[in-house]
Structure 1
Amino acid sequence: MATSVEEITVNRQFDGYNRRYKHRSSVLGCDMTFTVYFPAAAEKGKVPVLYYLSGLTCTDENFIQKSGAQRMAAARGVALVAPDTSPRGLGVEGEADSWDFGVGAGFYVNATQEKWRAWRMYDYVVEELPALLRTASPFASSLDPDRASIFGHSMGGHGALIVGLKNPQSYRSISAFAPICNPTNVPWGVKAFTGYLGEDKEAWKQYDACELMRGFAGDVKPPILVDTGSADKFLEVQLQPQALEGAIKDSGYSPATLRMQEGYDHSYFFISTFIDDHINFHADALLVGHEA
């Protein structure tokens, strides 16, 4: 039986609609929200899906309200799907003690530590949400989750990279803004992985884009685009794009493009500047054989 979905808000934009939904997540054990931007093309037939994963402290609304992505998504006929970043409302002790762990900081992993057993954002993004888009009545006639790509920012850029690299058959393209490239070796990642996954560092590697890149053995290689700002205050300590660049070189993965954008920081001012590049990058992959 299809999961019940409740529409919370709707806002018209560029002849399409931003629609925010709430549903009960069986994977996470709580109510979850997510937002879908339906371009006008979705009124005439199924359109491809571009998932966006947000960063630390964010909800599904940050990207939808600040990025300006809808203009190009409308022009290219691509739906945007923005989930939340963690379970909420479970009342786990310590879940809101810090901004970089717990609520708003799911890191797109499946937690193995008992206390954090509900933090299974990887399964939510990879399995539950796409299944919902396939079956629930608001989406079944307008979205085509079998044509999907994924991108994100910071923690969400890390999420997009690992989800795409672990499931290359499911995503036609992958991109990221200022991703946490090598989480097993930076403070944000070490804190999150220790808490969610325990002390076994070998278990962390399955959620590290650099490790996944070096071990990539798939026949299908989705194209990758990564943008990072040279003035990003987290660049050297937390993001380490040079680690991902090295892993790409070591693996011979192609095509992959890493760009350093001079003078840009970690904010949505940066994201909004280059969002059209990313939407077009994904649309080119998603619409092959479908554009007039």
Structure 2
Amino acid sequence: MTELNITDLELISENKMFGGLQRVYSHPSRVCNGPMRFAIYLPPAALNGNKVPVVTYLSGLTCTEDNVTVKAGAQRIASELGLIFVAPDTSPRNQNIPGEDDSYDFGSAAGFYLDATEEPWAGSYNMYSYITRELQDVLSANFSAADMNRQGITGHSMGGHGALTIHLKNPDLFKTCSAFAPICAPMSCPWGEKAFSGYLGSDKALWENYDATELVKKSPSSATLLVDQGSADTFLVEQLKPELLKKACETSGQKLTLRMQEGYDHSYFFMATFIEDHLRHHLNGLS
């Protein structure tokens, strides 16, 4: 296997926003077996040579790096607070795996932020390693303003699941954590059962490594988790199950701020409403 050149970035787009730069890059990925894309917002403070904290945002099912970049309004507050805001894609693409593009909740755009152990997915569907190792190397090598010792992680739905599990498994890497309408207990919902069965096989002991409700029982972090959930979310009862996360946090002593937001749904209208609260939560924890 050829050595990965982590400085081999292709600039896809660049737009000035709120005094900073919104960029999208592509780069070769070993763990995902092909090109991966990520968006990055560099606030004015980063462009002026200062070291600034980094918040990584993980998107949900069907999404790319563009959804949060275009819809959430994160750049305005990231500019004000001096935060680099990173949004990677949600899965490998174009792997020529049978069934890869057959459904919205498995395969393309549905990587679930885990490392697959089942073939034919194991050779490329390794978003956990991508977020925690490879993208870390890419950011460190190419963005000198990124303070890699001050990082937080957040996400929406499937990405909220990813943010919670990645933080709980790597609390020294991602020191702060928040989530919007996360899949809190994937072992206990249809989305998670389908994904885990396909990517991880039938051994549910492996599933526990990627279930926030199970992880928090075993190894709570010292951070306060901020979770916002809309009461009018059509996926709330069947797929998201924040009550299971709340109970697990109460049992383990994990600090959790769970806010049920009356009348809000699962959309980016909900996300845009509370993104400022989340970015301020990360800045406070990383200052």
| TM-score w.r.t. length of structure 2 | 0.96
Q: Summarize the alignment of residues 88-127 of structure 1 with structure 2, pairs less than 5 Å apart.
A: 88-117=93-122, 118-127=124-133
- Consecutive unaligned residues of structure 1, counting only runs of 5 or more, are none
Q: Answer yes or no: is 1:285 the counterpart of 2:282.
A: no
1:122 aligned counterpart, secondary structure: helix
Q: Is residue 2:9 matched to residue 1:5?
A: yes
**1:2 positional shift:** 3.8
Matches within 5 A, 1:113-262: 113-117=118-122, 118-136=124-142, 139=143, 141-216=144-219, 221-254=222-255, 256-262=256-262
Q: 1 CA distance for matches of 2:16 and 2:168?
A: 34
CA contact (8 A) 1:171 1:222 kept: no
- Contact 1:172/1:223 (<8 A) preserved: no
Deviations 1:182-228 (A, max 9, x none): 000100000000000001111100100000000016xx512210000
SS of the residue aligned with 1:213?
A: helix
Q: Identity, % of aligned pairs?
A: 53
Residue 95 of structure 2 aligns with an amino acid whose one-letter code is L
Matching residue's letter, 1:178? A
- 8 Å contact kept, 2:224–2:254: no
In structure 2, runs of 5+ residues without a counterpart are none
Tell me if 1:42 matches 2:46.
yes
2:37 corresponds in structure 1 to 33
- When the two chains are superposed, the root-mean-square deviation of aligned CA atoms in Å is 0.9
* Selected match of 2:87 from 70, 82, 103: 82
Cα distance in 2, alignment partners of residues 109 and 115 from structure 1 = 15
Output the amino acid matched with 1:64.
T
* CA–CA separation in structure 2 for the residues paired with 1:142 and 1:94: 41
Shift of 1:253: 1.2
Confirm or deny that 1:14 pairs with 2:18. Answer: yes
2:66 matched residue in structure 1: 61
Normalising by structure 1, what TM-score? 0.95
CA displacement, residues 129-179 of structure 1 (integer Å, 9 cap, x when unaligned): 01111113xx1x221122100000000000000000000111121000000
Q: How many residues align?
A: 281
Alpha-carbon separation, structure 1, partners of 2:126 and 2:285: 28
Give per-residue Cα distances to partners, 1:253-292, cap 9 Å, x unaligned.
Answer: 12x2001000000000000001110010001112x2xxxx
Question: In structure 2, what is the Cα distance between the partners aligned to 1:190 and 1:236?
Answer: 15
> How far apart are 1:3 and its partner, in Å?
3.3
Deviation string 1:22-59 (CA, Å, 9 cap, x unpaired) is 00001111101100000000022221110000000000
Q: Per the alignment, in what secondary structure is the counterpart of residue 174 of structure 1?
A: strand
Give me the whole-angstrom Cα distance separating, in 1, the residues matched to 2:113 and 2:6.
24
Residues 133 and 143, structure 1, Cα contact 8 Å, conserved in 2:
yes
